[in-house]
Chains A and B, each alone.
Chain A
Amino acid sequence: MKAELQGIKAEAEDELRRIGSPDELETLRVKYLGRKGILSELLAKIPSLPAEQRPEMGRLLNELKKDITSRYEGAKTALLDMQRPKAVGPVQDVTLPGRRPPLGHKHPLIQTIEDIKDIFADMGFQVAFGPEVELEFYNFEALNIPLDHPSRDDFDTFYLKDDVLLRSQTSTVQIRIMEKQRPPIRIIAPGKVFRPDTVDATHSFMFHQIEGLMVEEGVTFGHLKGVLALFAQAYFGPDTRMRFRPSFFPFTEPSAEVEISCSLCKGKGCSTCGSGWMEILGAGMVDPNVFKAVGYDAEKYTGFAFGMGVERIAMLKYGIDDIRLFFENDMRFLSQF
């Protein structure tokens, strides 16, 4: 009989859980708790049990009745609540907005720098810094850009004094690091650079660059391609293709302009990229004259360097069409990142 009680309990609980209307509830009450209900019937059977079982069964039956009654009352209340949805009293409007703690935003250029830095950090590149107000030597001579050479025109520069300037490229950091450190070197140097350009949608007299440098024995142009391909796929997506085009920078040889397939149109050509390709950085093997300037043995070591414009990359990545937005600091812009 004990087993029977357990079965009844489980069955009653189950049925109560599935109650959908007051009628069903009433039927259930009659079925279990009614005068002719299951429990009453069982109660009536007790006298016919062996004497030693009677008190135990009486107690169990009472417990079961209590249990079902309380569940019945619970179901009744729930049913009533359900039936008066427009009832008065405080009800939570869960569609009201939650109270959000304020969250600030990192500047998109900083985020871009951090993302790029992290990818190169995975390849063993360490962050390095250098001064923004720089000696002419580091910005030009040490980088194999002689005085009175037309290539200086490509790096138009703000001057403070004859030999002191605002660096026009982060390549200066290459020299500063190589001067005090021996190979192997893997560094990435983010920072501000300055060129006297009139400000418009694509030009700014101040912008950010990230310079990379790797110098070891046996580093090849193939490695340069490898490192940059890994970067491009990590940053722009695994389907990104890359191509190299010969170019000229005084401090690298061979030099290359690097393009990636447009992430918007997958290289088919669109209004952003035109041809399906986007120029993202300049790179090349470190020129032996640069090694000479820092006292490295150019026969023993080879290396590569690359430099990219952070604004340009952020503009491509986020589809931003005006470089000035980065420096206006309009909260409606910054809060999008």
Chain B
Amino acid sequence: MKVSYCWLKEYCDFDLSAQELADTLTDAGFVVEEVNPLQDDYCLDVEVTSNRPDCLGVLGIAREVAAITRSKLRLPEVDYKAGKAPVDFKIHVEDSELCPHYTARVIRGVKIGPSPSWLQKHLEAVGLRPINNVVDITNFVLLESGQPLHAFDMDKLTDKKIVVRRAVKGEAIKTIDGTRCDLTPETLVIADGVRPVAIAGVMGGVDTEVTEATKNILLESARFMPSTVRRAAKRFTLSTDSSYRFERGVDPEGVDWASRRAARLIQELAGGEVARDVIDIGSGKIKKHVVTLTMSRLNAVLGAQIEPATAKDILSRLGFEVKAAGKEGFSVTVPGFRGDVSREIDLIEEVARIYGYNNIPTDTRLSIQVRPRGRYEQVEGKAREILVGWGLTEVITYSIVDDTQHQRFGAFSNAQALTIRNPIRKGEDRLRQTLMGNLLKVKKHNQDRDVPWVKVFELSRIYLPTAGPEKLPDEKTSLCLLWEEEGVIPERAFYALKGIVEGMFSALGLSGHQQWQGYSGESFDQKMSCRVELDGKLLGVLGELKKEIVAEFDLNSAPILAEIDFDAVVERADLTTAFRKLPLYPSAVRDMAVVVDEQVSWADIEKCIAESGLQYLESVEFFDLYRGKQIPSGKKSLAFRLYFRAPDRTLRGEEANEMHKLVEERLGSALGAVLR
């Protein structure tokens, strides 16, 4: 809210420069974003939080300043001379729930003209354009008190009556700013005998506005329910000074006050006679809140030692009525303009705020508590260390993606992606089901900036729709990796990334049976594409990006991608370490190279060796794959190393040779392998 420094001074004597005032308000919770110097004034841009509508009027701010600076608050005069004429006008509030309080004053015989210069200056200081004396006065009182007012040209109201009611379907109104609004029963309107003449709390209609020719005025001051005003303002995108205040709630006790204030000013500046009677519907309903404040609670919450007298003084200055109650408590009556205060904690905040948060002692005496790091955090942290150590850089990409087809890559779901109703950009409304598309975009972004050979990973959530009755999707943490390296042999990069994934699984102590197998995902090249299962359940996929997609994303090479279900990794990881005794006797090592059909996989060979039941076989290690000279076409050579070891003695050379021979025979008979 814009506040004029000079205007504020009319209600309160404080000894602060404009900048000091700004700092003081900021420290009390009203952040002053700007202090703009004017010709002989300053305009402060004050941020008023949504719980403090009372400070959407200069008087409210003045009350705060008076409380902080311990100076006196001066309220303006509101008395006027009432005339003898009765009111010949009817007001009917049909919906008293949406309009709990409605007042109207009638002022006859006004002379519309320009406002005096002091009034014009006040309005201009806060950026308002003066219009005519009556309209300016309603604006002035709104800015002064925070209570919106509206002046109708009474002679333009049909049937000498006002009805506060919901609009009827088909009705419309042209507001003062010239917008035509089609109304529905959702909107509360002020109507005359035949038609709506204002959208309640938002804006008046152009047909009944005060003009140069206006003689008689109906002055409305009312209270409307915040939600109804909010909805109307949203619906017609009409955020006005009035709607802004009604949405946040006006002072129930200030409705009539503001009306009297405006009547007095109109009488003073535009002449005319204020009718004897006032129409006032609903004023009796106002109930005051009385809240108990105990000093022990106050100090227990704040961790301070504030004296009762201090608390009492602060609350009184803020306009609360404070009476001693019990040994160490107060019974506090809340003024109408403080609708935000209804509980003890609200009063505690008020005391703390003015006492000064910075005067409350800082307390670092906490009990010691030690808690182990959670499992997810531990596994995630370790995985991250491993990947970064192996040269991959972590990226973070947006969870909301566009509707390009890369969403179909997802290994974990091919359902229709979840969408956002109100995206900021049309088309960018999908929640990702895979991280792969985003990593390709990272590659492209870097490629366009001449950064070659990207090796990246992302560890973030993907959002998978569920078929069940759950309202929330299955949020899976996905680990996605993209790897490329210089060189012409694509297998090299493929096995490099596979090695990283396997190595990570092993370092994380993944329990269960891992099985790698061929995979025909939509995104990968058939020849270099695989999936890995953990005890028969999909754990992830890995492969070389398909040529068509490489072209589609305009990439200069085909990277290797992998996407892993990281939740499953966390679930099956085992970071505990159990020491195994070091072997007492040396191992015997034998190398072997066999030629087999292309169809025979390394897994077949491993399995065959494992099933041969050799007592002293410790491990088998692959080290070379060879095709080419000396190897017939359709065949390949696989070389590996066998480690034999006995726990209780050194194996003799003949024993190792015998076992080596056995492996050879077994591979020969089971897989047709021939020693190379």
Could you list which residues of chain A lie within 8 angstroms of chain B, going by C-beta atoms?
A: 101-107, 109-110, 114, 121, 123-124, 126-129, 131-135, 148-151, 153-154, 158-161, 163-164, 166, 184, 186, 192, 194, 196-199, 205-206, 216, 218, 220-223, 225-227, 229-230, 243-248, 253-257, 285, 287-288, 302, 326-332, 334-335
Contact = CB atoms under 8 A, between A and B. Distances in A.
B360 interface: yes
B29 A133 contact: no
A148 B362 contact: no
B399 interface: yes
B363 A148 contact: no
Contacts of B398: 205-206, 327
A268 to B, nearest CB: 17
By secondary structure, the A interface counts as mixed
A52 B31 CA distance: 106
Nearest to B346: A253
A227 B362 CA distance: 9
Contacts of A326: 396
A206 B400 contact: yes
Contacts of A199: 424
A124 B227 CA distance: 43
B369 A245 contact: no
Given A104-B388, A206-B400, A334 B248 contact: no
B287 interface: no
A104 B387 contact: yes
B50 A132 contact: no
Contact of B368 (A124, A159, A197, A221): A124
Given A247-B49, A248-B51, A329-B442, A104 B392 contact: yes
Interface of B: 26-29, 31, 49-52, 226-227, 230-231, 247-248, 300-304, 343, 345-346, 348-349, 352-353, 357-358, 360-371, 373-374, 376-377, 381, 384, 387-400, 418-424, 431, 442, 445-446, 449, 451, 454-456, 460-461, 463, 471-473, 475
Contact of A331 (B230, B362, B393): B393
Task: State the 9 A-B residue pairs at the shortest beta-carbon distance, nearest first.
Answer: A220-B303, A222-B303, A246-B29, A102-B391, A124-B369, A222-B363, A248-B49, A244-B357, A226-B364
A302 B246 CA distance: 34
Most-contacted residue by chain B among A121, A124, A246, A257 (CB, 10 A): A246
Contacts of A127: 373-374, 377
B225 to A, nearest CB: 9
A291 to B, nearest CB: 10
A135 B369 CA distance: 32
B94 to A, nearest CB: 22
A236 B361 CA distance: 21
A253 B394 contact: no
Contacts of A135: 471-472
Contacts of B31: 245, 257
A135 B358 CA distance: 37
Contact of B397 (A247, A255, A327): A327
Contacts of A149: 50, 226
Contact of A225 (B227, B363, B370, B390): B363
A103 B455 CA distance: 10
Given A133-B475, A223-B363, A121 B393 contact: no
A163 B470 CA distance: 12
Contacts of B424: 196-199, 205
Contacts of B393: 104-105, 107, 331, 334-335
Contact of A220 (B300, B370, B446): B300
Contacts of B353: 246, 254
22 contacts: A106-B384, A131-B472, A135-B472, A148-B230, A158-B423, A186-B371, A196-B424, A197-B424, A198-B424, A205-B400, A220-B304, A221-B304, A222-B360, A245-B29, A245-B31, A247-B29, A248-B29, A302-B300, A330-B446, A331-B393, A331-B454, A332-B449
A124 B371 contact: yes
Contacts of B463: 132-133
Contacts, number: 228
Contact of B391 (A101, A121, A285): A101
Given A150-B248, A222-B302, A222-B304, A110 B376 contact: no
Contact of A132 (B300, B392, B445, B475): B475
Contacts of A256: 357
Contacts of B366: 123-124, 223, 226-227
B399 A288 contact: no
A275 to B, nearest CB: 9
Contacts of B390: 102, 104
Contacts of A332: 449, 451
B303 A221 contact: yes
A252 B400 CA distance: 30
Contacts of B392: 104
Contact of A334 (B51, B376, B394): B394
Given A107-B396, A159-B420, A102 B442 contact: no
A226 B362 CA distance: 5
B358 A243 contact: yes
A220 B301 contact: yes
Contacts of B374: 126-128
Contacts of A225: 357, 360-363
A205 B398 CA distance: 9
Given A133-B431, A133-B463, A160-B420, A221 B227 contact: no
A222 B361 contact: yes
Contact of B227 (A104, A148, A196): A148
A302 B301 contact: yes
B394 A106 contact: yes
Nearest to B362: A225
Contact of B446 (A102, A159, A206, A331): A331
Contacts of A151: 50-51
A148 B442 CA distance: 40
Contact of A226 (B363, B389, B445): B363
B473 A148 contact: no
A110 B396 CA distance: 9
Nearest to B421: A159
Contact of A121 (B345, B373, B431, B461): B373
A330 B431 CA distance: 23
Given A107-B394, A131-B475, A124 B231 contact: no
